[in-house]
Structure 1
Amino acid sequence: MQSVKPILSAVLLALGVTAISTTAVHAKAIETQRHNIELEVVTEGLEYPWGMDFLPDGSVLITEKTGAVVHYHFDKNEKHTLSGVPEVVYAGQGGLLDIVVDPNFAENQWVYLSYAEADPAGGDGQSTAVTRARLDGHKLVDQELIFRVAPKFNSRFHFGSRLVFSPEGHLFITTGDRYHHMDDAQTLDNHDGKIVRIWPDGSVPEDNPFVDQAGAMPEIWSYGHRNVQGAAIHPLTGKLWAAEHGPKGGDEINIAEAANNYGWPVATFGIDYDDSIISDKTYVEGTVLPHYYWVPSIAISNMIFYTGDAFPEWKNDLFVAALRGSQVARLDLDGDRVMHEETLLQDDTKARLRDIAQGPDGFIYLLSDDKNGALLRIKPAE
């Protein structure tokens, strides 16, 4: 693979340091194993962007971790900040996090936001919450809180927070173990270290796996997770795949099935940040081994299955963005089997890639996690 450092020196090297034109900057071709691509800056000036989703008209909504939603219009190269965003706790890893557009947006105008929410009872804790609101011009109106992680802890870490709709219309919400309470990922009396499954109005599906189990949170779909910040639906099977931060080593891709226990923290391929042992086991009976994992960690963020036409040789491949190494991992799949991994865009620019999405044009979009973050685009080389 050709080094991208010469290319990105024009478009990414100065992210967070000096300004780059907000018009798209074309780069030289980057050779990959399947396609020659270009990477360009679409717009910058985004303050720690975290999540994005596209609207039916082709524009995109982008969350800024500090608490704003930016509406970017490609045709006009204009950004508008929405009013009516719920109040968030911006501290540590918390803030305004993911955003997803309702599959029936054209009829109902709903968008969904995940964020770190303060304790409404006035305590000093916080946890992940999800609110939906209708998009009216550049305003969010008719807010409804549809989910709140319980309990609330005074911890600024591991909020999870990725949102994805299933083909059947369920909303999956990923959470984290809150770091200081990692053992809670193994019990069902809380939402921490779980993937939850609800209907878009916040109601609980009757076929959730623990809905009739005494003492269990009925929203839980799967458990034993550390900090799930990526989620995508497989385009052929309809199953939920989840990308999970490991500690020092042990980033995981899991196929999240109902009622499964994915092992954290009793089984892990990673060690703690001070090199101490979290568990001496990589597998414990009753848990599920990761479908794919990285040692050392690449600090995975979100992921997508590519389904567009712009890159035909990448059809149905899994693309995983990473916060370390300014890289995207392309996993070549045969059904569910990972046959090969290719590293894309690895360089020395320190651009942390927080989100990845497929646009309606079939191009791949990335968000760089920085005080002067950018919306980036991967397109076929001319």
Structure 2
Amino acid sequence: MVQRVLPTEEAEDLIVLIRQIADEQLLPKVDEAEATHHFPREIFTLLGRSGLMSLAYPEEFGGGGQPYEVYLQGIEEIARGWMSVAVGVSVHSLTCFPLAMFGTPEQQAHWLPGMFGGDQLGAYCLSEAQAGSDVASIRTRAVREGDDWVLTGSKAWISHAGHADFYTTFARTSDDGSRGLSCFLVPADAPGLTFATPERKMGLHSDTVGEVLFDRVRIDGDRLIGAEGQGMAIALAALDAGRLGIAAAATGLAQRALEVATAYAKEREQFGRPIADNQGLAFLLADMAAAVGSARATYLHAAHLKDAGKPHTREASIAKLIATDAAMKVTTDAVQVLGGYGYTTDFPVERFMREAKVTQIFEGTNQIQRLVISRQLLTETP
């Protein structure tokens, strides 16, 4: 079991609750659900009604009022049980961020309680087919018609597409480059909002991902979040938080892979003794444990900075880079520990390896993280 230092007794109780849910509700269901591409809406409802979908947001509107270090450790525990669900919780938290941080008091009072209450699930519509890391190239457009906004275009690689109740959407409101983007809260029942066939992915089969299509989608004028033209700043601020969510999820996935590999190494016998007695394999497990511990330390450091109100963009990128590279290495090594069995679907480590790969890609590829880190280093004042 992971040793944790948590700030309060309430936080300790929360992590115990999340681990219990992971053990009793996630682990027994994950294999079949991933094999059948089942979208686990009932699990999100359970987590939401248990207060676990909005841990880091203010209690005033139904959030958990917990520091980010607690929220992220909760994400890690969920990922240990079911990676697709952990990614979904992180995505939902990301969809709430623009309204929680940039919305008016009236908008927050109207919409946040529903987002935090457990019955609603969000999707974050930023990426497009030709605008992934290059957010300034977004082409989806929003134009004013009377008091309304009308959105036209498409978004790609959107988690929860077709399942979400609202879509936090970034669209172009002027041709002024990065200053021409704005943020909107689009309800799922808006006429003209449709969804393409879900992508056929390597892993995370319970995380439905697809295109979101806007065919003159009309929404009320009060669904503009923040100021017109503020979309880029909102998106970048949200991505710092989102990258930490993925770092924590990747750490949880690596932790589970380590647990499975360690248990197998103690039970599997060759030449009359457990394979764990072989120093070469024992050292491999030690390296896996070191990678998981390093990943956890980096995301917690970034979380502590965020909780203290200090800049943490570089540290968020470092955490995302370190944790997701660690997840890829640890899950690959777990397959190696299990040998031929690790390459079969009879054991979960091959799924862990497939799931780990995308963590190096979404929320900004790890090459983009290196770009963010290097720019921060080269532009900061000594």
TM exceeding 0.5: no
Indicate the structure with greater helix content: 2
